[in-house]
Structure formats: structure tokens, C-alpha cells
A = this chain, B = another copy of it.
């Protein structure tokens, strides 16, 4: 037994296991749905330390296949024994794309914690999709069953005005360097809710029951956000939610939004080479794309292009303060009122 597994590997799992929002979402989704799990066969894709497999056993699963490709499978074997689940959980050391499962090779439920930063980056969604096609019985469940990636313009004071006064010293030339360094790759930050400048917009929605690997190669969307609190526009913030099936109660949602307790995913910020004062009602237009890296299937890049809000089509009921939108809204509302009175 190799106790001296790479410290970096252990630290990654430590960080995930210390994320109580993550643990508790899976705990509630699984243990709160014993009717779904009772007597069923489960596949845990990328089982890691095996905690989700133990949840499934505790929820009454008849059989759990905990598939883990890395050496971490050794830890999951220990955890399974420590929790006296050897009769239910079978740890399989291998790649879920190549393993085969015992008996008819099918399962009733797939559980997986596959989400990476900004949902897809360094995640394992492809493996979950392929495992679904190969192993999930028709009508089977996926935990989670859908995922949404959100974005919104935001303030990034930690790259800007936070440095105006460091114990009486102005350090904006330092923050300028931080900012320049941040342009090349997205940042993982703890964004405060008051720094999110508009209602969230959806960049990507994935129904895990239907999605294909090609569906998550590249998504590009043009957004027109309307500022709902005055502030400085310095970046685009991204976060995701996942929701789990439920027969009875409200479905459990795991959210990495700035409004929710911080998770180990934090929020992702694309810093912009600008620092623009914006006010309530002001429209902000941008293109944003999330694209799979050509060099590494598991990596994704984010690209933001700032657009002139006068050059893009505003939605019919746009709430921005541009005269055209105010007039259009007034006309539409008047028309609706007339329709209702007839």
C-alpha cells in the first residue's frame, strides 16, 4: 500500500471533501431520495475517495460500482471498508470508457461529481455522457441530471480599486500588472454578490439525459445585460448550478453562485482590459464563447468580446435606459393594456 501518494493528489481531494456545500448537496440529493436508490444498481463515474458511493449504499442501493482511473481507487477501497460497505460497493480501478460491468452490464442510476471550473474546464462530462450511453438502463436516473452555466458583467476590485490605498500607499501600478497578467487566463475568485452588475444570463444549459459530447464542444452567445446596480464594469463572472432528480421533495440544487456559500469551485472571472463606470439601466453588450481546447479534450477556453450596445439588437422587452427601448416598452405595454381591455 503506497501511503506516500502524491501530496498534490491528496490536496485536491482534501479540498473537495472540505467543500461542505458540495458534500451536502450530494448527501441530500441521494439520502433524500431513498425511494430512487432502494434496491437499485448504481455506477459512480470517477469515484475518487468513494464518498458518493458510500452515500448510495447508505441510501439503500443493492450494488454500487465505484469506477476510478487514478491511484485514488486505493483510498476509495479503504473508505468502503472503513464504512463497512464492502458487500455493496465494488471498487473498479479503470477508465469508465473501457471497463465493463458485471452481470448484464447495465445500471439503474449514474452518480458523478464531474464538474470542473466554469462547469466544463478539467471536468469529466464526456465520460459521464459515454457511460450513460453504454451503461444506463432506459428510464434510469442521472445524479445530477442537468447543469446550467451563467454569466454576468461584474466588478473586480481585487484587480483595481482595492489597491488605491494599501496602508496609505497607492499601489495601482501593482494592480495594473495583476490585471495584465489576468487577461491571458480566467481567474478563480470569491466574487461578492454586490459585485455582480446584472441579472444572470445563461451561457449553456445541459440536460444530461440527452446531451452528446459534440453539444459541449463550443458554445457562443451574444448577451445584452442591463446593469441593475451602479458600479465599475471590469470583468465577466461565470458560475454554474446542477440539479438532481427527486420523486418527492423539491429537487436539490448545487449552486456555485456568488449569492451562495463559497464552494471549492469559487466563481470564474474573465478580467477585461477596461474599467468602465456604469449606471443602473445601462446596457452592456458582449459575445462570450466557451470552447473545448484543440490540444486537450478536458480543457476549455473562455473568450469575451466587448460589443457596442448600439450595434446589437436589444430584446423586445429590454429594460435598458436607451430611449428606443423605453419607447418600445411603452408602446408594447400600451398595446397589451388595450388588448386586455377588449
Contacts and interface: CB of A to CB of B under 8 A. Distances in A.
Interface of A: 3-5, 7, 10, 13-14, 17, 20, 23-24, 26-27, 31, 49, 51, 54-55, 58, 75, 78-79, 81-83, 166-174, 176-178, 180-181
A75 B181 contact: no
A20 B177 CA distance: 21
Given A75-B174, A174-B13, A54 B181 contact: no
A5 B177 contact: yes
Contact of A178 (B10, B26, B55): B10
Nearest to A77: B173
B23 A177 contact: no
A4 B178 CA distance: 9
Contact of A27 (B31, B75, B168, B180): B168
Contact of A79 (B20, B168, B171): B171
Contact of A167 (B5, B27, B78): B27
A312 B5 CA distance: 37
Contacts of A180: 3-4
A169 B24 CA distance: 12
Contact of A3 (B10, B24, B31, B177): B177
Contact of A181 (B10, B20, B169): B10
A227 to B, nearest CB: 28
Given A75-B174, A174-B79, A178-B14, A51 B3 contact: no
Contact of A171 (B49, B168, B169): B49
A17 B171 contact: yes
A23 B83 CA distance: 48
Given A5-B181, A78-B173, A171-B79, A166 B13 contact: no
Given A4-B181, A7-B181, A167 B24 contact: yes
Nearest to A78: B173
B173 A75 contact: yes
13 contacts: A3-B177, A5-B177, A10-B178, A20-B167, A24-B167, A49-B174, A51-B166, A54-B169, A55-B169, A78-B173, A78-B174, A79-B173, A83-B170
